[in-house]
Amino acid sequence: MNKEITPQIGQIVKILRGRDADQYAVIVSIEDSKFVNIADGNKRKFDQVKKKNLVHLEPQPFISSEVVNSLQESGRVTNGKLRFAVSQFLSDKSNADQKGE
């Protein structure tokens, strides 16, 4: 079941385990092959990223170019951009869900 996927910075993930289960967040940095740092700009700010095991995350097929560009330019991303990326993904997802019916 656990597919080998390469996480990418700016990618939206669904949190499967822990206090934030069923929430969505953005990968802001990659620690190593097992761990990434995530933030959502809301409860989990960029300055206090959460280190998560990839096993506990479900990567979504959505990468926020705004987050990627911001991190490449300055090494930081605003919490507003993180919130926007998550809300953009959720609105795309709900539109896709509605079309699927």
pTM of the entire structure? 0.91
- Model pLDDT, residue 4: 60
Q: Is there a contact between 90 and 82 (Cβ–Cβ < 8 Å)?
A: no
- Model pLDDT, residue 96: 81
Q: Is there a contact between 17 and 4 (Cβ–Cβ < 8 Å)?
A: no
CATH number of 11-93: 2.30.30.140
Q: What is the DSSP letter of 19?
A: T
Q: Is there a contact between 10 and 63 (Cβ–Cβ < 8 Å)?
A: yes
Q: Which of the residues in the chain have pLDDT under 70?
A: 1-4, 100-101
Q: Which of 74, 70, 34 is nearest to 26 (CA)?
A: 70
